[in-house]
Copies of this chain bind each other. A is one copy, B any other.
Amino acid sequence: MKIGIVGGTGDIGEGMALRLSPVFDVIVGSRERDKAETTCTIGIETLRKRGKKCSLKGVSNQTAVDDADIVILAIPFKHLLGTLETLGGFEGKIVISPVNPMEKRDFFTFVPPAEGSAALLIRRLLPQSARICTAFNTIAANRWKLLDEELNYSVPVCGDDQRAKQQVMEIVNRISKLQAFDAGPLAASNLVESLTPLLLNIARYNKMKDVGIQFR
Q: Hey, what's the 0/1 contact readout for A76-99 against B, CB within 8 Å counting as 1?
A: 000000000000000000000000
Contact B206 A181 (CB under 8 A): yes
A contacts with B, residue count (CB < 8 A): 35
Contact A198 B156 (CB under 8 A): yes
Q: Hey, what's the 0/1 contact readout for A197-216 against B, CB within 8 Å counting as 1?
A: 11101101110100111111
Top 10 A-B residue pairs of the complex, sorted by shortest distance between their CB atoms = A182-B205, A191-B198, A184-B201, A107-B184, A214-B214, A181-B202, A211-B215, A107-B188, A194-B194, A181-B206
A108 to chain B: which residues have CB within 8 Å? 184, 188
Contact A205 B191 (CB under 8 A): no
Copies in the complex: 2
A63 within 8 A of B: no
Output the nearest chain B residue to A214 by Cβ-Cβ distance. B214
A110 within 8 A of B: yes
Output the nearest chain B residue to A165 by Cβ-Cβ distance. B205
Contact A216 B215 (CB under 8 A): no
A190 to chain B: which residues have CB within 8 Å? 110, 194
Contact B201 A188 (CB under 8 A): yes
